[in-house]
Structure 1
Amino acid sequence: MSTQPSTDRPDVPSATSDGFVRGLSQFIGGPLGSHATRPDARPGRFWTAPRIIMALTCLILAFSWVQKSPCMSGDWQKNVQYTRFCYTDVLALYYAEGLSDGAVPYVDHQVEYPVVTGYFMGALGLPVHWYGVNHPDINQGSWFYNVNALVLSLFAVITVAVILALRRRRPWDAAIFALSPIILVTATVNWDFLAIGLAAIGLLLWVRKHPIAAGVLLGLGGAAKLWPLFILGPLLIIALRSGRLTPWFQAMAGAVVAWGVANFPVWYWQHEAWLRFFRLNSERPIDWGTLWYIGRYLDGKWSSSGGGPFQWLSDHVPTLNWVTYALFGLACVGLLVLGLLAPQPPRLAQLAFLVVAFFLIFSKVWSQQYVLWLVPLIVLARPKWGAILAWTVAEIGYFAAFYAELIGAGGKPVIPEGTFVLASTLRLVTVAVLCGLVIREIWRPELDVVRQTYGGADPDAGPAEGPDDGWVQRLRSSFGVGAPSPSPVVVPPEPPSVVKV
């Protein structure tokens, strides 16, 4: 009888490639041995890795609810929403968007969000208002927040379930998401988990080889927040590498139809209300914490007249818009070149993380909750704890500095402006470092721990899986980047998973 460990059993971070976790394991006796009996692998054991991670996710979301509880009454006196770090758009916009008066989104009030988010707000807000009219003793704002927190938490649980389903051989990767302080403090700041959950399901459907359904979910996600539509670009790159473009066209068609169907009622019957989101984003000035904000601050420090290129762009918003579009477009072109010339077809998750990160880096708006977009993508793209924890520290530091800046904007300075700019810079730099690390692993696939687990293959390729198409091989040869990549290694079937999505 062989004494070799089964190749089917899930990856254990302390025993394989995660140096950070392996180092921490020294405090409890060192990494798990190659012949050890895993506690979560015993027959009949209830607390398997996926169930532990799902429970941790629910626990963190419960703590997030508690963390926001000082703001639930809506009585935000003496900047309590900032001093307790409990501000949430969900509660504030219940009143600002007219839901507290029974206003129907887009019909009675021009909501500032894409239509699926507006539909979601109305679907939860109008029943709360109706119930509050008949029960005047309840706090409508608190009820609205709690109902939203419950549904958004469900989307967060769906997201971690998708991560587990996509990484059955690496279930502990999902713990990076489940235990993230970012989830704790930003899960219900806005409605971002609606789009994240839809996009996650879309990715899972792509992997399960349902490209049309995947496109529909990405299209609906894009109608809630724009960024899920960016994932169509990475899907195109991996389809180009394998020459299997039909599934991409199917996904693209599904996304276009779903986005169009979701938008059509508001576009047709409430056109001005539909335009508000696009006009608002076109007219918005440089937002706090962005690359452009940092540059404008440095302009003021380095220029005796207080002027400079960033200040000029701040004063000419239409030009700034085109500059941000151009930089993001160039970054996408660079991603296409990288994707076609890399030694092996890049993994979908790597490309998806990069395209969303590039958008945030060059955007003139980078709201605090946008960080949630990156958390599941980096878990799938590069599940190494060390770099992610460094980025998380920078994000939490920015979160605290941002609230201090908000208090200062009200006339009570808390920190010097330079401190906030430093926190913004650290956030920007750590995201850029993560991008660099992902790019390095695309160019040097032997460093990619996910590929190591899956025998060199991309577990997310779905219907685009396959060796390089002939024209890609010729293109790579013409650039002198080495021999064509080998066909993906056939790996054993996935082990059973308790997570069903």
Structure 2
Amino acid sequence: MSTQPSEDIDRPDKPSAPATSDGFVRGISEAIGGPLGSHAVRPEAKTGRFWSASRIIIALTCLTLAFSWVQKSPCQSGDWQQNVQYTRFCYTDVLALYYAEHLNEGAVPYKDWPVEYPVVTGYFMGALGLPVHAYGQDHPEINQGTWFYNINAIILSILAVATAAILLALRRRRPWDVAIFALSPIIFFTATVNWDFLAIGLAAIGLWLWAKKHPAWAGVFLGLGGAAKLWPLFILGPLLVLAMRSKTMRSWTAAMATAVVAWAVVNFPVFYWYHESWLKFFQLNSDRPIDWGTLWYIGRYLDGKWASGAEGDQGPFQWLSNHVPSLNLLSYALFGLACVGIGLLAWLAPRRPRVSQLAFLVVAAFLITSKVWSQQYVLWLLPLIVLARPRWGAILAWTVAEFGYFTAFYAELMGAGGKPVIPEGTFVLASSLRLITVAVLCGLVVREIWKPELDAVRQSYDDDPDGGPLNRPDAAWVAGLRRRFRLDRSPAAAPAPLDPPPNEIVVKV
């Protein structure tokens, strides 16, 4: 049975510098003289210095968000003539849905209009939209849409900065890992496309509370995050399989119970008084056909290319496109199988995987198998991959693929009016590259779970810095399961060494 240290006890903090720990950054650093020498005085070692690594990361996050606000500024007036929202890449649901969800008319979400989002997002929209509408009634000279967008942008940016701060708190010995998040073009282009940072911020707080061994409070915030966007609830799955491996089911039960209670409490008013409006989110997701850029969209395109041309001839993806209930079942089944595989990986790995590694795999599996993969969903993966595998090279390749998809998607939207802007095959290629790079990231995370000696985070921490109550020895059944699969490579399972020949001199050093 393998054992793992329960705490990083009396271990001094040794911040990891990317130029020494990351091969990609080390190679880039050669252009400016290479990594800092081992005898150099590091800037953070100087007492009284204001610009610590953490403060630099927070400042960079604020700078990226400020540039993002400027990039979205051409769309803030709401006067979207000649596809300006696509030609300048400044489209945002926040502004579009202020009018589409009738907030500009003073409609109360769910009560007066069936908002298509989970309730915490709907509450958030109403809490900001209704006061803006009321103020606009008394001050007709203001542009209500502009005010609504800017107030949302400020609060979503605060949540983004809070997420960066939580990532720094979870990686005190590796603060520069969070620069991947702070400088990401993904934030630059998509931070305020939708309200995703509301769920991200709540989920990040939940992960931090779990790491600090407050499982009940962690469940509260994961439940609230799941009531804003569904995916934070998926994190409870990795926590379950890891709790089973480490005999900490009591902590998981507390988190699960409070998550359910928190989710139910915020949903109950809408569920009880405006039930039809509450069902809108679930009905919409059930009825939606194959959406842009998904695995199913790519398959349907290939079906069209490979079809024989005979009347009534259609491939499997086209058939699924015409039979949405079957598409739903297949999508859920594939996601379920992926989760089973991730669970087995968690139990069979030589060391207990880290929470963020499994959380990233589960959320990525959901996106890969889902029939809907909106452009802003990339934000879900960004903080998780920073925690799971903070390697610059692969993340930059994925970011480039995401940017390629982003531009191709807007070109497709411009062409939806009648005149194509790019060939359909170009958009499918961009969609495929995005999917492939996410799959490659998953493969790299799986490799580091299977070979924990390759895990950069484990080089700085004795155990999982996000594990919290999970950081304890494995349950006895784990070793038995690994032996059953002939995976136990512990010293106890290795054959005893042969005795040396009688005339051989053995020198022990």
**Shorter-chain TM-score tier:** over 0.9
Question: In structure 2, how many angstroms separate the alpha carbons of the residues matched to 1:395 and 1:90?
Answer: 21
Q: Which residue in the other structure is 2:13 paired with?
A: 8
Q: Does 1:464 align with 2:475?
A: no
Separation in 2, partners of 1:412, 1:382: 42
1:473 to 461, 476, 479: 479
CA distance in 1, matches of 2:433, 2:182: 24
AA in 2 matched with 1:173: D
Aligned match of 1:495: none
Q: What's the RMSD between the two structures over aligned residues?
A: 1.1
Q: 1:236 to 1:138 in 2, by over 3 A?
A: same
Q: CA deviation at 1:484?
A: 5.8
The aligned counterpart of 1:426 is: 433
Equivalent pair of 1:245/1:464 in contact (CA under 8 Å): no
Q: Do structure 1's residue 150 and structure 2's residue 154 form an aligned pair? A: yes
Q: Equivalent residue for 1:490?
A: none
Q: Does 2:280 correspond to 1:276?
A: yes
The one-letter code matched in structure 1 to 2:49 is R
Cross-structure match for 2:111? 107
Whether 2:338 is the aligned partner of 1:331: answer yes
Segments ≥4 residues shifted beyond 4 Å: 483-486
Return the match for 2:195 from 191, 199, 214: 191
Q: 1:485 to 1:430 in 2, by over 3 A?
A: farther
Q: How far off its partner does 1:485 sit?
A: 10
- Aligned residue type for 2:461: Y
Closer/same/farther in 2, CA of residues 136 and 385 from structure 1, 3 Å limit: same
Say if 1:467 and 1:485, in contact at 8 Å, map to a contact too: no
CA shift at 1:465, angstroms?
Answer: 1.1
Within the candidate set 174, 179, 182, 1:178 is matched to 182
Alpha-carbon distance in structure 2 between the residues aligned to 1:211 and 1:428:
33
Could you tell me how far apart the structure 2 residues matched to 1:365 and 1:165 are?
A: 33
Kindly indicate whether residue 447 of structure 2 is the aligned counterpart of residue 443 of structure 1.
no
- One-letter amino acid of the structure 2 residue matched with residue 262 of structure 1: V
CA offset at residue 478 of structure 1?
A: 1.5
**Residue matched to 1:73:** 77
Alpha-carbon distance between aligned partners in 2 of 1:72 and 1:99, rounded to the nearest angstrom: 16
| Residues 15 and 22, structure 1, Cα contact 8 Å, conserved in 2 | yes
Give the secondary-structure state (helix, strand or coil) at the position aligned to 2:80. coil
- Select the residue among 196, 204, 209 that pairs with 1:205: 209
Give yes or no for contact 1:476–1:484 (8 Å, CA) kept in 2. no
CA contact (8 A) 1:468 1:484 kept: no
Measured in 2, the distance between the counterparts of 1:159 and 1:234 equals 20
Unmatched 5+ stretches in structure 2? 1-10, 493-509
| TM-score (structure 2 length as normaliser) | 0.93
C-alpha distance in structure 1 between counterparts of 2:224 and 2:194, whole Å:
17
Distance 2:366 2:92 in 1: 24
Alignment match, 1:417:
424
1:404 is aligned to 411
Q: Name the counterpart of 1:90.
A: 94
Would you say the 8 A contact 1:117–1:223 is kept in 2? Answer: yes
| Correspondence for 1:494 | none
Aligned residues: percent identity? 75
Bigger mean CA offset, 345-354 vs 470-479: 470-479
- Separation of aligned partners in 2, 1:485 and 1:111: 59
**Take 2:60 and 2:418, find their aligned partners in 1: how far apart are those partners?**
40
Partner of 2:375: 368
Q: Distance in 2 between matches of 1:90 and 1:324?
A: 28
User: Residue 7 of structure 1: CA displacement?
Assistant: 5.1
Residue number in structure 2 paired with 1:355: 362
Output the amino acid matched with 2:486.
G
TM-score, normalising length: structure 1: 0.94
The AA in structure 1 aligned to 2:17 is V
Counterpart amino acid of 2:467?
A
SS at 2:217's partner residue? helix
Give distance in 1, aligned partners of 2:262 and 2:155.
22
SS in 1 for 2:263: helix
> Are 2:364 and 2:438, in contact at CA under 8 Å, matched by a contact in 1?
yes
Checking the alignment, whether the CA contact within 8 Å between 2:218 and 2:255 is kept in structure 1 is: yes
| Residue correspondences, number | 479
Which SS does the other structure have where 1:459 is aligned? Answer: coil
Q: Alpha carbons of 1:86 and 1:467: their partners in 2 closer, same or farther (altered >3 Å)?
A: same
Cα pair distance change 1:236/1:485, threshold 3 Å: farther
Secondary structure of the equivalent of 2:79?
Answer: coil
2:479–2:488 CA contact under 8 A, matched in 1: no
